[in-house]
Amino acid sequence: MDLLLVEDKDSFRRLLSQALADTDWNVKAVADPQEALRALEEAPFHVLVTDLRLPGMSGLELIRRARRLHPALRVVLMSAFGEPRDIVEAMRLGADDFLPKPFDLDAFQALLDRLRALVGAPPPDPAEPWVAHSPAMQVLESALRQAATASLPVVFRGEAGSGRGRCARRLHTLRQPAAPYLSLVAATLRPEGPDPRTLKLLEGGSLLFTGLEHLSASAVDALARAMESESGRRIAWIGSLDAGGRLAPSIAQRLGSLELRVPPLRERREDLLTLTRLLLEQAARREGRPSPWLERSAERQLLTHDWPGNVRELEVLVGRTLLSTQGQAIRGFPGLGLGLAAPLCLPWPESGALEGMLKAVAHGAESQLLLRALSEAAGDLPKAADKLGLTVRTLAQRLRDHAIPLEDGDSPSPWKAP
């Protein structure tokens, strides 16, 4: 991983660089904050470690500009003169930690190990909306808060697209919001099991395995061994399962301690309009346009639909409708649903060479075709892959390329102009 070190005192800069010489950190050490900004403009870094007092620019200003260039950048501020207001301002700007000088090199290494985990498996946004007005969701919310008081493995059972992945992120946030979090698709697990380096990265955090009903027989024993490993015992294990899916006995013994049912969208009518408005607002913000409002006719259409595709269907419907809506009001949802009757709506590509525009249109069409295949397979990844003539691993990679969530339709929408 790449680390940018900004320290104007030559001896201390050399000391920190030497301390990281035999690690897997690729360190670029500079004394000048302007040089640091030029480095950030040329290439992304995973972590920035900077002194507070620098020539020509404060460490706080450097953090502000660096985070503007790379919002996901992890930041550590160092200082022998840090005032409480400086520390508060650094945290407000997105710094992950503060190191008062002089500090122990072992503590420095431990902090970087934690940041490595957060870079490789970033925790969910604690501000991610959670809608639980309906009685069914209030029951689930109560169960989640109770489950958060213990470290028992949890399995979320529900229909495809109902929000099992969102529930897992909610549980993680209630338990340990700043810890690393990773979601993996069970069908893509190799026979040798999870990578031990990944498990090491996740110590103290959570690992979600989605679609456990698709776990191959060759991977079952490997997963069971991983859960019993030294790193595995330091991870909060979470799984998701279809409503009628079954766990392999050896996995059920380890992962089946607590099972929570995720209600389908048709049992959450009280949440439906709030969810729709949230999804509209998020999609409109990504498109850089005001969020349209729902007229009563559109609300009635939403409330009377059966929602076989659950939250995933709603999210795709919202994205597709936004692309085809010119004004500030949505009066209805043409082609409600995700089947073949639904229109294929593609955004106009940015004007330019024909070849480039055709590539952009093809990229947008591929995203919608993948979503429709997932919907027709009811979220069954192997079934969708077979229909598309792809391997499960290739389909999973294509979905990632299009920012389509693998576990449920409750993550940021892929409905964005390429």
What is the domain-level CATH number for residue 183? 3.40.50.300
- Percent of the chain with pLDDT strictly greater than 70: 93
Residues 200-229 pLDDT 10s: 989 999 999 999 988 888 899 999 999 999
Residues 10 and 94 in one domain: yes
| Summary mean pLDDT of the chain | 87
- Percent of the chain with pLDDT strictly greater than 90: 51
In a domain, 129, yes or no: no
pLDDT range class, residue 182, cuts 50, 70, 90: very high
Q: How far, in whole angstroms, is CA 205 from its chain's centroid? A: 14
pLDDT at 411: 40
170, 257, 258 from 281: Cα distances, Å: 21, 38, 35
Residues 104 and 162 in one domain: no
Residues 187 and 252 in one domain: yes
Structural domain ending residue among the three candidates 120, 147, 167: 120
Residues 304 and 214 in one domain: no
Structural domain ending residue among the three candidates 263, 292, 310: 263
Residues 94 and 155 in one domain: no
In a domain, 125, yes or no: no
pLDDT at 405: 65
In a domain, 280, yes or no: yes
Q: Is it the case that residue 62 has pLDDT exceeding 60?
A: yes
Q: Is it the case that residue 375 has pLDDT exceeding 90?
A: no
Closest CA to 5 of 54, 72, 65: 54
Mean pLDDT value across residues 60-88: 89
Mean pLDDT value across residues 242-258: 88
Residues 395 and 279 in one domain: yes
Residues 9 and 114 in one domain: yes
DSSP letters along 37-55, please? HHHHHHS--SEEEEESS-T
Residues 141-153 pLDDT 10s: 999 999 999 989 9
pLDDT at 337: 53
pLDDT range class, residue 339, cuts 50, 70, 90: very low
Q: Is 209:184 a contact under the CB 8 Å cutoff?
A: yes
pLDDT range class, residue 407, cuts 50, 70, 90: low
Residues 102 and 203 in one domain: no
In a domain, 126, yes or no: no
pLDDT at 343: 63
Mean pLDDT value across residues 314-333: 86
In a domain, 291, yes or no: yes
Question: Of the given ranges (61-75, 229-243, 340-354), which has the lowest mean pLDDT?
Answer: 340-354
Q: Is it the case that residue 321 has pLDDT exceeding 90?
A: no
Q: Is it the case that residue 286 has pLDDT exceeding 90?
A: no
Residues 105 and 142 in one domain: no
> Number of structural domains, the chain?
3
DSSP letters along 362-410, please? HHHHHHHHHHHHHHHTTT-HHHHHHHHT--HHHHHHHHHHTT--SS-TT
d(CA 337, CA 305): 9
Question: Of the given ranges (263-267, 338-342, 388-392), which has the lowest mean pLDDT?
Answer: 338-342
Q: Is it the case that residue 409 has pLDDT exceeding 70?
A: no
d(CA 60, CA 65): 9
Torsion of CA 221, 222, 223, 224, to 10 degrees: 50
pLDDT at 146: 96
pLDDT at 324: 79
pLDDT at 338: 46
Q: Is it the case that residue 50 has pLDDT exceeding 60?
A: yes
Residue 273: give its domain's CATH number: 1.10.8.60
pLDDT range class, residue 412, cuts 50, 70, 90: very low
pLDDT at 271: 96
Residues 351-362 pLDDT 10s: 889 988 898 889
In a domain, 80, yes or no: yes
The boundaries of the domain holding residue 244 are 135-263
Residues 9 and 116 in one domain: yes
In a domain, 270, yes or no: yes
pTM: 0.76
Structural domain ending residue among the three candidates 91, 120, 149: 120
Residues 235 and 272 in one domain: no
Q: In the 8-state DSSP scheme, what is residue 262?
A: P
Residues 259 and 276 in one domain: no
Residues 274-284 pLDDT 10s: 999 999 998 88
In a domain, 418, yes or no: no
pLDDT at 234: 94
